[in-house]
Amino acid sequence: MPLFRTLVGAFAATVLAAGCSSTGGTIGGIVTAPKFTKGTLSEGRYTAKDKSFSVAVPFAPGSPAYSAVEIVEKVDAGESQVVFSSPVHPAEVYRVTTFADVKAAARLPDATLASYRKQVDGSSGAPLRQEKTSPELIDGILSISHRFSQMIPARTVDGKRQKGFVAIHVTCFLQRSTRAAFLSVHRMPEGSSPGAEGGEARAAAFLKSFRLR
């Protein structure tokens, strides 16, 4: 699954480059690593260090995916970001970014979506194709959800030829007063690869579990 791991790394790269902490995962691929986070992780729910948001980890507590979950965090003044992934579901990446003191004229919904699309297009060389836009109620806030598909072309990775495949992206933006959040999920279609089964349900539950404070 080297291509999937490459994509997971690409989505987390900007977070890691900013001096974030990465916790969890496995040691030597065998022993589950302890999860030390800047935020708190309790009974499958993550709460940011600055208490700006909380969200359920996308993998069920007690499952192999939860035991091996990797959490990448970034905490700055006015902004918090966390990325969840697991080698059990190697094509799935779940990300939350929150913003404080948002001005009405900031046009964050458009700016965050444009930034995400630019990052994804640049890291994969394959443009996102919008499938639909729909309202989504999250934490009692009416948000706008965008769903994209992405045709990843065949390519050579680590000297091996990899087949092309389809990826799915879902993003949501929501705002309460002067605090806002941008959520994104990257996954494979159901049944398309090992570990992809149940991805749609995990993505939906992750988005619904989000709480903005």
What was the pLDDT predicted at 13?
A: 40
Which CATH number is associated with domain 2-212?
A: 3.40.1000.10
Classify the phi-psi angles of 29: left when phi > 0, otherwise alpha if psi is within -120 to 50, otherwise beta: left
Say whether pLDDT at 166 is over 60: yes
3-state secondary structure 104-120: HHHCHHHHHHHHHHHHH
Residue 110 C-alpha from the chain's centroid:
18
What was the pLDDT predicted at 56?
A: 97
- Model pTM score: 0.82
Give the model's confidence band at 22: pLDDT under 50 very low, under 70 low, under 90 confident, else very high: low
Residues 104-156 have pLDDT tens digits of 767 889 999 999 999 888 777 788 999 999 999 999 999 989 999 998 877 77
46 burial via Cβ count (<10 Å: 0-12, 13-18, 19+):
buried
Say whether 88 sits in a helix, a strand or coil.
coil
Rounded Cα gap, residues 42 and 133, in angstroms:
33
Neighbours of 2 (CB within 10 A): 12
Say whether pLDDT at 81 is over 50: yes
What residues does each domain of the chain span?
Answer: 2-212
Residues in the chain: 213
Say whether pLDDT at 16 is over 50: no
Residues 6+ apart with CB under 8 A from 123: 7, 10, 11, 13
Phi, psi torsion values for 150, nearest 5 degrees: -145, 125
